[in-house]
Chain A
Amino acid sequence: MAGKIRSITNPRLKLEILRPEDVRRIHSATLDVIESVGVRFPSPLALDIWEEHGAAVDRDTMVVRVPGAMIEEALRRAPPAYTLAARDPAQDLPLDGNHVYVGTDGCGVEVLDLATGLRRRSCLQDVADIARLADALEEIAFNWVPVSAQDCPAESRGVHELRALWRNSTKHAQTESIYSGREARAGVEMAAAIAGGREALRKRPILSIMECTASPLGQDGGSLEAALVGAEAGLPVGFMTMASCGSTGPATLAGNLVVGNAEVISALALVELAYPGAPVFYAAAQTAMDLRTGAYSGGGPEDFLFGAASNVLSDFYNVPLSMGSFATGAKEPNWQAGIENSLSTLMASLVMSDMLLGVGLLHGSRIWSYEQMLMDCEIFDIVCQVMSGMVVDEETLALDAIRAVGPGGNFLKQRHTKEHIRDLWVPRLLDRRPYEVWEARRDGARDWARTRAQELLSTYHPQPLDPALDEELGRIIAAVEASEVSR
Chain B
Amino acid sequence: MSEELFQVMAQSIVDGDVDLAKNLAEQAIGQDIDPLEAINRGFVVGVNYVGEQFARGDMFLPDLVLAGEAMKAAVAALEPEMARRGTERTMLGKVVLGTVQGDIHEIGKTLVGTMLSASGFQVYDLGVDVPTDKFVAKAREVGADIVGLSALLTTTMLRQKDVIEALARAGLRPKVKVMVGGAPVTASWAAEIGADGHSEDAIGAVGVAKNLVGA
Interface residues of A (CB under 8 A from B): 42, 107, 109-110, 121, 148, 150, 154-155, 157, 179, 214, 218, 220-221, 246-248, 251, 289, 291-296, 364, 366
Chain B residues whose CB sits within 8 angstroms of the CB of A179 once the complex forms: 153
Chain B residues whose CB sits within 8 angstroms of the CB of A289 once the complex forms: 61
On whether the beta carbons of B201 and A293 are closer than 8 Å, the reply is yes
Is B82 positioned at the interface, with any CB of A under 8 Å from its CB?
A: no
Closest to B106 in A: A214
Chain A residues whose CB sits within 8 angstroms of the CB of B57 once the complex forms: 292
Counting from the closest, the 4 A-B pairs by CB-CB distance are A293-B201, A291-B60, A154-B155, A148-B154
Q: Please report the C-alpha to C-alpha distance between residue A42 and residue B105 in the assembled complex, in whole angstroms.
A: 13
Indicate which residue in A42, A148, A293 contacts B61 across the interface (CB closer than 8 Å): A293
Is B202 positioned at the interface, with any CB of A under 8 Å from its CB?
A: yes
On whether the beta carbons of A246 and B158 are closer than 8 Å, the reply is no
Is B188 positioned at the interface, with any CB of A under 8 Å from its CB?
A: yes
Contact with A along B176-199 (1 / 0, CB 8 A): 000000011010110000000000
On whether the beta carbons of A157 and B155 are closer than 8 Å, the reply is yes
On whether the beta carbons of A109 and B184 are closer than 8 Å, the reply is yes
On whether the beta carbons of A109 and B186 are closer than 8 Å, the reply is yes
On whether the beta carbons of A294 and B201 are closer than 8 Å, the reply is yes
Chain B residues whose CB sits within 8 angstroms of the CB of A148 once the complex forms: 154, 184
Q: Please report the C-alpha to C-alpha distance between residue A221 and residue B107 in the assembled complex, in whole angstroms.
A: 18
Q: Can you give 12 contacting A-B residue pairs, CB < 8 Å? A: A107-B154, A157-B155, A179-B153, A214-B105, A218-B104, A220-B104, A221-B104, A246-B61, A292-B61, A293-B200, A293-B203, A294-B111
Query: Interface on chain A toward B: helix, strand, loop, or mixed SS?
Result: loop
A293-B202 contact given A109-B186, A214-B105, CB 8 Å threshold: yes
Is B62 positioned at the interface, with any CB of A under 8 Å from its CB?
A: yes
Chain B residues whose CB sits within 8 angstroms of the CB of A155 once the complex forms: 155
A292-B203 contact given A246-B62, A366-B184, CB 8 Å threshold: yes
Is B108 positioned at the interface, with any CB of A under 8 Å from its CB?
A: yes
B60-117 residues with Cβ-Cβ distance < 8 A to A are 60-62, 104-105, 107-108, 111
On whether the beta carbons of A109 and B154 are closer than 8 Å, the reply is yes
> Nearest chain B CB to A453's CB is how many angstroms away?
23
Chain B residues whose CB sits within 8 angstroms of the CB of A296 once the complex forms: 183
Category for how many chain B residues contact A: 20 to 34
Q: Please report the C-alpha to C-alpha distance between residue A246 and residue B60 in the assembled complex, in whole angstroms.
A: 10
On whether the beta carbons of B158 and A154 are closer than 8 Å, the reply is yes
Q: Please report the C-alpha to C-alpha distance between residue A296 and residue B105 in the assembled complex, in whole angstroms.
A: 14
Indicate which residue in A150, A220, A294, A295 contacts B154 across the interface (CB closer than 8 Å): A150
Closest to B62 in A: A246
Q: Please report the C-alpha to C-alpha distance between residue A191 and residue B144 in the assembled complex, in whole angstroms.
A: 49
Q: Which of A179, A220, A251, A293 has the most CB of B within 10 A?
A: A293
Q: Please report the C-alpha to C-alpha distance between residue A179 and residue B156 in the assembled complex, in whole angstroms.
A: 12
Indicate which residue in B60, B104, B108, B155 contacts A214 across the interface (CB closer than 8 Å): B104
Q: Please report the C-alpha to C-alpha distance between residue A295 and residue B105 in the assembled complex, in whole angstroms.
A: 13
Task: Known pairs A157-B154, A293-B202, A294-B201; list 6 more (Cβ under 8 Å).
Answer: A109-B186, A110-B186, A157-B155, A247-B107, A292-B203, A293-B200
Chain A residues whose CB sits within 8 angstroms of the CB of B158 once the complex forms: 154
Q: Please report the C-alpha to C-alpha distance between residue A436 and residue B206 in the assembled complex, in whole angstroms.
A: 51
On whether the beta carbons of B104 and A294 are closer than 8 Å, the reply is no
Indicate which residue in A291, A292, A294 contacts B108 across the interface (CB closer than 8 Å): A294
Chain B residues whose CB sits within 8 angstroms of the CB of A295 once the complex forms: 200-201
Indicate which residue in A121, A154, A220, A291 contacts B188 across the interface (CB closer than 8 Å): A121
Closest to A40 in B: B104
Chain A residues whose CB sits within 8 angstroms of the CB of B201 once the complex forms: 292-295
> Nearest chain B CB to A363's CB is how many angstroms away?
10
Closest to A110 in B: B186
Q: Which of B62, B105, B155, B189 has the most CB of A within 10 A?
A: B155
Q: Which of B60, B188, B202 has the most CB of A within 10 A?
A: B60
Chain B residues whose CB sits within 8 angstroms of the CB of A292 once the complex forms: 54, 57, 60-61, 201, 203
Indicate which residue in B54, B61, B105 contacts A294 across the interface (CB closer than 8 Å): B61
B19-64 residues with Cβ-Cβ distance < 8 A to A are 54, 57, 60-62
Chain A residues whose CB sits within 8 angstroms of the CB of B188 once the complex forms: 121
Closest to B192 in A: A121
Closest to A295 in B: B201
Chain A residues whose CB sits within 8 angstroms of the CB of B61 once the complex forms: 246, 289, 291-294
Contact with A along B154-170 (1 / 0, CB 8 A): 11001000000000000
Q: Please report the C-alpha to C-alpha distance between residue A289 and residue B202 in the assembled complex, in whole angstroms.
A: 13
Q: Please report the C-alpha to C-alpha distance between residue A294 and residue B158 in the assembled complex, in whole angstroms.
A: 24
> Nearest chain B CB to A118's CB is how many angstroms away?
11
Indicate which residue in A154, A214, A251, A366 contacts B183 across the interface (CB closer than 8 Å): A366
Chain A residues whose CB sits within 8 angstroms of the CB of B200 once the complex forms: 293, 295
Q: Please report the C-alpha to C-alpha distance between residue A246 and residue B107 in the assembled complex, in whole angstroms.
A: 11
Chain B residues whose CB sits within 8 angstroms of the CB of A294 once the complex forms: 61, 107-108, 111, 201-202
Q: Please report the C-alpha to C-alpha distance between residue A436 and residue B108 in the assembled complex, in whole angstroms.
A: 50
> Nearest chain A CB to B163's CB is how many angstroms away?
15
Q: Please report the C-alpha to C-alpha distance between residue A240 and residue B11 in the assembled complex, in whole angstroms.
A: 41
> Nearest chain A CB to B130's CB is how many angstroms away?
15
